[in-house]
Amino acid sequence: MPKSPPARTDLLRGTLDLLILRTLSPRALHGVAIADRIAQVTQGTFDVQPGSLFPALHRLEQAGWTTGAWTTTEEGRRVRSYALTAAGRRQLVEQEHTWDRVVAAVAQVLRNA
C-alpha cells in the first residue's frame, strides 16, 4: 500500500524559532532556502509560509540570535541570508533542551492519561 504524504501541521507556538535556529546551525541560508529545508526535513509536514517565516527571522535577528546580510545567489538574485550568532547557538541548545522536556511530558500524558 503506498504511503500517503503527511498532513500539513500547524506549528506549535514557539517551535518555528527552534526549527529556524536548527536549520541555520550548519550554514547560513536565505529565507526561502530555510523554508524549503524545513519542508524537506519534515517531509512536507511543516510548510512555513512567508507571513510566518519573515517575521520570525526579523524577531531572531532583533534578539541577536541571527545576523542577516544581503548576498547574491548563483542565479544573480539579491537575497538576505541569515546565520547563527554565538548567542543564537546558545539559544538553540537551550531550546533543544526545553523541547526534549516538552516531548517527554506530552509522552507521559499520552501513556498515562
pLDDT tens string for the chain (113 positions)?
A: 556 555 555 566 679 999 999 999 999 999 999 999 999 999 999 999 999 999 999 999 999 999 999 999 889 999 999 999 999 999 999 999 999 999 999 999 999 97
pTM metric for this prediction: 0.86
- Cell numbers found for residue 113: 492519561
CB neighbour class for 44 (10 Å; exposed up to 12, middle 13-18, buried from 19): middle
Q: Which pLDDT score, from 0 to 100, does residue 3 have?
A: 60
